[in-house]
Amino acid sequence: MGYDYSEEKILIIIPDAFADFMIELFGDEGRVWLERLPTMLADYEARWHMTIGAPVSNLSFNYVAPVVLADGTEAMLKTGLTDEFPSQPEALKHFGGHGMTRLLAYDEQDEVMLMERLKPGLSLRTVQDDEAAISAAVQVMRQLWKPLPEQHYPFQTIQDWGEDFARLRKMYNGGTGPFPTAIYDRAEKLYAELSASMSEVVL
Considering only 36-45, 47-56, 102-111, 116-125, which range has the smallest mean pLDDT? 116-125
pLDDT of residue 145: 81
Domain residue limits, the chain: 2-116, 127-196
What residues contact 102, with CB distance under 8 A and at least 6 apart? 92, 96, 115, 116
- Architecture of the domain made up of 2-116: 2-Layer Sandwich (3.30)
Please name the residues in contact with 11: beta carbons below 8 A apart, sequence gap of 6 or more: 2, 3, 4
Classify residue 189 by burial, with Cβ atoms within 10 Å: 0-12, 13-18, 19+.
exposed
* pTM (whole model) above 0.75: no
Question: Model confidence at 153, in pLDDT bands (50, 70, 90)?
Answer: low
The 10s digit of each residue's pLDDT in 90-99 is: 888 888 887 7
Q: What are phi and psi of 178, to 5 degrees?
A: -80, -5
